[in-house]
Structure 1
């Protein structure tokens, strides 16, 4: 259960990434029926101001590193990697991990986890500017440069800046269910889950669509996933030739209409698996897959586990 959250600060910390952790875990949303986390901002020397990446701003952690003891989650915000890590912080994060805490790093915070020995033999990620450096500094780690975050169970690493939001909300969703994650995301005015799935990582971010005609079509497709769609019928709806529609769709979304539809149908299937007791055939019909067999095929391929297993893991928590 996710209750006590300790964010541990290194000198020269990045304010945005620190703010992301505070926004997700540090605000009191109990009036909305959401859980209140026991949130502690920790440092090697409590009360001593630490410099930040923002000129003229310092942050003084209220608590010391002893607060990492008993924490369910220890979050490590970003900091300039050339400034190095406070060895006291590194030791405290390592000890917290050994005691069973989940460690979550945002952006370059992965380097601190690496110094604590937590990346060895594991998949991880960081900001795209630093992935080569991370792989070079920690050769026993498997660094994925193309994802928003990587979930390795008790270690979650995220890519740069806003990907920290994705990782934090993913952890809330994993531990407390989609309803809690969705409510926090709604308060933050961000999507609760960007394009991808519960497969230990999200493959690519959602791409905004600047074309008015395609935006309308995408919205309609999303609202009518149960209907059969073809490139030809969608092209007719947008008053384009099939070739022009396919080219414009790929340019705007970075994928094909078929792949986009499949991804949206998978997201709907996940929601229905979490929130309803629909049998697989009925669920497949609602999502536009046509049959339970086809749903199982695409779900396993996209998410990495079978629909029944996904419901077992997440359905009870969501309800």
Structure 2
């Protein structure tokens, strides 16, 4: 907010980060954001964000970025699409440690840490209490980072953690892009079994701002959306964009077998099939549904149905693929 010390956003040029910075800027916050020398900041060229060059793995640049800020939102991190498992662990764990240490030393009023809903899981609809064994290097790294957050909170740092579910919206070439391609490319006629909690990126940005402003110190909040199976979600998306729903659902045993093959290839041949292991294949065929009741009650969080987010995502998709 104008006149206050700035909020620092790491990972500001990423998918969620771009939308969060825009939300903060539109609400009058003084926003400082990190970028690397190679970062593309054009998506936020019409905002008043103040850019600082920093790398979460460079503790000195992180300290400089945090200095003078009232609060920090730590979004910077990478998944398996962006690097090998060792790099995923390094960025998500060591990077988080650097941000927390800098925030603690600077005496910031609050840190908001973005983890993943993947560290919670149940056979039904999961909530914040449903801690689950991590599957894959990304979830392992995020759970380790949550452990660091807890340590700093226990030592007196005000930290709140949010857990976005499966985020959909413009700017996301991975999850969103694959879904939109599935309903617009006639050659893609099959869908996976299983399902997820589909949440719009603008809803996540607003939920993060609510957690920054009103979250209880040390608490965790799932920022989820509409629980849908993949076939049901693709039907809704296809209807909204006048596309085609997949005709077939790949049987779960087939996906599980592919996971074993990919894992063996990685182990014995050094051939990496992203992002597939036997455990991840089983996870891909599971209904990963979540409740956001806690965030709704304590933060006033709300979300819109998937179809409300499809037009903006489709306009972006067509623009970037023309």
- TM class by shorter chain equals 0.3 to 0.5
- Give me the TM-score of the superposition, normalised by structure 1: 0.34
Which structure has greater strand proportion? 2
Choose between structure 1 and 2 for higher RCO, CA contacts under 8 A separated by at least 6 residues.
2
- Pick the structure with greater CA Rg: 1
